[in-house]
Structure 1
Amino acid sequence: MMVALLIEHVCKALQELYRVNCSAEDVFNLDSSTDEKFSRHLIFQLHDVAFKDNIHVGVYTRNRNFRLYKSSKIGKPVALEVAEDNKFSLTQSDISEENQYFLSSLISNVRFSDTLRILTCDTSQENKQKQVEYFSSTSTSVENIEGFQGSPYPEVDEFVLSLVNKNGIKGGIRHWNYFFPEELLVYDICKYRWCGNIGRAHKSNNIMILVDLKNEVWYQKCHDPVCKAENFKSNRFPLPAEVCLLSLLKEEEEFTTDETINNETKNPHKPSSSMLSKGILSDPDWDNGIDDAYFLEAIEDAELADAAENNLLSYNGVDEIPDELIIKVLQE
């Protein structure tokens, strides 16, 4: 019932936003569930249309691939099979059923035709508002659509929450940004202002936690003008083994979020497996806008980390990339 409802809503959204007609018979429904975990792959095989970009770069990084039909994860016995409630229709009588299923599972297997339409996703504020209005009018529970705002690495999210939930203070994640080429996660923290530079909590400015997955370390920066002027960056601390990238690649988590890379998180009250779907989204004392310098600093950290790996720069920050160059990169 849950899968059928999701398919129904996606079909309605495709019709409303792109004038694309589809039904459950156009959706290849694959199942890889176990007694411990529910797992489905829904592949919408649309007719004469294709999205220009159909991969979420926060999910399918260079270390992850979309699973093939009847494949299993390394060391796991459960394969990706046709679901019992699959309604996908096979149309070619001259090709075997298994062959058709396999070809239908290839998400980039798009046949060219003279009538092929290439769809793009409009991320403008006006279109975002239209999408919110659409889902508000077609869904009985808008919260079920808006509430899944965690990063592509839930184990790292939980670790960061453990850093800001201590000594009686319940901090949360207000926003995250993932620089996927450098594998750098930048977390904008709320309700936790402890700063390693001054040895106490800031009175009004929030902090950031940066997680360098490539080098398996984390460190703290903050929004305070004085700390920014000093270019403060805390010492780098090693990540726990269970949240390091090599460990995460062995996990059986399948991330299927379809939000953009810049996602707003709901503030959790405690770190748990569902921590990012519960909590407070806005608070007059904490809902400050993220300033542009924060993104510049994050990209600077990513550039330096990447350069250090190639022996071009060192982590001591002596030969840092000029701000002009960083701004140019942002504009491009």
Structure 2
Amino acid sequence: MAAIGQTGTPAMFMGPQRPTGVSCPAHAAKVYTTFVWQRDAIAFADRCNRAAAGLPEEEPCAAETSMRPPGNPAADLACHAEPAVTGETQPGTGVGVFYRSSDAETQEPPGSRRLDEIVKVFCQERGGERGYHRQFVAASHAALWARCNALPPQDRHYYEVIKEGSPCHLYFDLEYATACNADVDGDALVEKLLCMVSQRLKQEWGFDMQPDWVVELDSSSATKFSRHLTIRIPGHAFPNNHAIGCLVSQLLASSEAMQLMVRKGGADEAAHTFTSFVDSAVYTKNRHFRIIWNSKGGKTATLVPTERFATAPGHGMSRQQLFLESLICNVPPTARLLHVDGSNTTLTGSRAAGTAHPLRTCLPVSPGRAGSSVKVVRLCDEGEQAPEGLSLQRVQAWAEAAKGFVEQMARQRAGGQPATARTIAHCGLAGTVAYSMIGPGSHYCENIGRCHQSNHVYYVVNFVEGAYAQKCHDPDCSSFRSAWMPLPAELRLT
């Protein structure tokens, strides 16, 4: 089978519980337990996986320190159906983090094997008198597969939770409105993206991307083109979805990414407003990604194989194998992890830890280009020093220019619900800006995986470091800060 895009031309191919005091069942592969809160489901799954690996309950489940001892009970669990990819690395002693292809086959890590996570975390939308709500599930792949098959197709509303820090396969969420993009060929657009991905994988790690690495799923409707891609590199994965977000940002910052632009918005602005059809907001902490053959709650469009690439006619996979292949976090503990330049960047100064800092209000700043509907104030962190040559006016201009990007990210995270920046508060000397949001989409919080009833979120942007994150005004989430995500190159102060 020919590799993708080697010539530079797009190739054509055919019961709620809390974990405290709850013991993990001996046969973790049969686990299916529901929770009201996402954090409880994650904690329960972690405890199950440690127990299955024979680790003490109080021992931290760190990827770089965990080791499954010989004869651990997880190896004998008959329902453990992963991995389902041919060509995966055979069980061995080490898992490496690699920078270039020259190192990828030789470098071994200083640490030991990662924990084999049999119990994963999922999200389910359930209907009720007041509409749909989300509950969280700690389950094995086998148990979830059985539960999905037991439900009528119209009642399948499951999402995979891409847990913070978990290794995962490369994935994309692709979409655009069809009404203002009648001339766009969606299949060709996907192939252009895959060509770019193929070139980057070859350049960075020496991989020749194959069509059967790509699982393409479609959930398009009469009004929207919608595809999900999962790209499985045999024997390899990425350390977390933050690293993938950095890789995607680098791809979208290239000149070739102009080929991926589509019109956005209503008919009145379709002729002059453009955006990438790649959703860059799906690489955040504990992101929910819909599972194959499932629909959104209250919707009819189901995520189904396109019969291209890995699902082309004659692929020979069973439905259960395809289910496993499409999961983003179905990564064996022996997979070698690929480093992405810039993914380990951390902020410096008082923002580095991501905790709340006392702010004091200084002089008011005129709204300027932000418009009369946005209040712009100047805030300074106590003790924070100014990088040399960085003026308040320069940061203010950058903050106002980035307002549209922040609002777009907020809307995407909230499933398309409107979200608008109400205030822009910044410390002009330090290059850090906070956008307080308002609107239906301003309540969605990554910490709880759903909308707050009344409290709003806000976004913190550091233009010097080129990163942004979400925080929350809810008292229960006051210490929470999402993972830092990279800003587009044109919004960075350099």
For the superposition of Structure 1 and Structure 2, which TM-score range results when normalised by the shorter chain?
Answer: 0.3 to 0.5
Larger strand percent = 2
TM-score (norm 1): 0.43
